[in-house]
Structure 1
Amino acid sequence: MASVYILYSKNLNRFYIGSCNDLSQRLAQHVNRDFEDSFTAKTDDWLLFFSVTDLNYQQARSIETHIKKMKSVPYIENLKKYPDIITKLRERYQ
């Protein structure tokens, strides 16, 4: 099953939003800087801020795109605060 995840770097004071099929493997890739030219290679202090699991891959990609289009730190913080937002996104992007 696929996941949408949000990482946070205190050093950069930035969020990173992504989706994948294997969350633990993908998180390790970010922390280990497996992709030298990627945004997350800029620092090694990425922490998992939030994730949504048990999605099909297309659903995960759609939710990732939706979150990125919002371009809003408060929106990202509200995803964690208000679980109903995720419930509605799951329904919207079935």
Structure 2
Amino acid sequence: MARGSSRETEMFTFFRVIVVSFLNHFYMLIHFVYILYSEQTDKYYIGQTEDLDRRLMEHNSHSYQDSYTKIASDWKMKINLKCSSKRQAIKIENHIKKNRSRKYVEDFIRFPEIGQNLLVKYLEENQ
């Protein structure tokens, strides 16, 4: 099978770099705020990450020995909120944590509009 011309190889490489750069940029922007619940301890945990599956596994396997979540191994994802950036996710995470109220966390889980309102409140242009 004949190889393509060097021009074709250059074009392929160029487009591959563009596509990979775009995907890396796109995926780096996506971040999540999440709330976990442990039935064992009857506690909630609020956090933010770019990879929900990995982070849940880390919580349940006690990857971080100084973490609050080491108190249980049965953490379940109750809700996650897709954010446009890490900065937005951190602001929303902090907002939820500052309320220090189990009722607020449970309302956040029960009423999705609370999360939607926080996404609007903490849009990048408002920061």
TM-score normalised by the chain length of structure 2: 0.70
Contact 2:33-2:83 within 8 A present in 1 as well:
no
- Structure 1 position 34, deviation (Å): 0.7
Structure 1 residues 58-67 or 13-22, which shifts more? 13-22
In the alignment, structure 1 residue 62 sits paired with structure 2 residue 107: no
- Structure 1 position 74, deviation (Å): 1.2
Of the three residues 35, 42, 58, the one matched with 1:29 is 58
SS of match in other structure, 1:47: strand
In 2, Cα distance between the equivalents of 1:88 and 1:31? 30
* Structure 1, gaps ≥5 residues long: none
Of the three residues 61, 76, 79, the one matched with 1:47 is 76
Query: Which ranges of 4 or more aligned residues in structure 1 deviate by more than 6 Å?
Result: none
In the alignment, structure 1 residue 92 sits paired with structure 2 residue 121: yes
- Structure 1 position 55, deviation (Å): 3.0
Greater strand content:
1
- Aligned residues between the structures: 94
In the alignment, structure 1 residue 79 sits paired with structure 2 residue 103: no
* Structure 2, gaps ≥5 residues long: 1-29
Q: Which residue number in structure 2 is paired with residue 16 of structure 1?
A: 45
In 2, Cα distance between the equivalents of 1:6 and 1:22? 14
- Which residue identity does 2:119 align to in structure 1? R
Higher RCO structure, 1 or 2 (CA under 8 Å, sep 6+): 1
